[in-house]
Structure 1
Amino acid sequence: MARNLAYELRKAYDDALSGYDVLAMPTVPYTAQPLPDPDAPLEVYLSTALGMLANCAPFDVSGHPACTVPAGLVDRRPTGLMLVGGRFDDATVLRVADAYEKTVGGFPAPPTT
């Protein structure tokens, strides 16, 4: 069943990309969160780690190249922009990522205070 859903996912992204070179979307579905305390229970670590996969994991299944680039700071924490391209078109994704980073001047350093 999961394998069949992968084909549907692939088709949905192929359709979304049919008129575009890349899709731009958030890397994770929420702003950066503080790291769990070193003595936090395993459940906290797992929920933190797994919560970050929602936007990225589909491309591991669909075969579409995806790249994240630094997009700035939100509430003094880093945020990322994920670029997704057509299957086997990694070069376009990397060119767009490079152009974006050059245009915005790279990633700003977080405030020290």
Structure 2
Amino acid sequence: MNMYKFMAVAFVFLTLIFSYIIVSTFRLRRFGLNLADLALPLFAAEIVLVSAKFYTHSFLPHYLLAMSILALTLAIRQLRRRKAFSFRRFFKFFWRAGFILTFFFYLATVIAAFVAK
């Protein structure tokens, strides 16, 4: 079980390094993509993998609920500020804010795996 915990911690760094290498190798910045754009789906998959290994139930429903609340909050914020809704602007901000939420959710999942018996 300790090996799985080590791998869960290593995924934090390996995912970021892998995403950086892919973005810089294929020069994806010219298309407006950066490290966060590639790391988000990887961290989401890792949340499912790590929570399935250490717990009886996956944290996927909790993660999806958090992302849904984030989407609602951002949509309401955009409507109140601009009085109009731009899907392109919303999706770009949602994707970048979703990366931050996903990263912290994954860290919380790893920490919970260390604290759990």
TM-score clears 0.5: no
Instruction: Write 1 or 2 for the structure with the bigger share of strand.
Output: 1
Higher relative contact order (Cα pairs below 8 Å, separated by 6+ residues): 2
Instruction: Write 1 or 2 for the structure with the bigger share of helix.
Output: 2
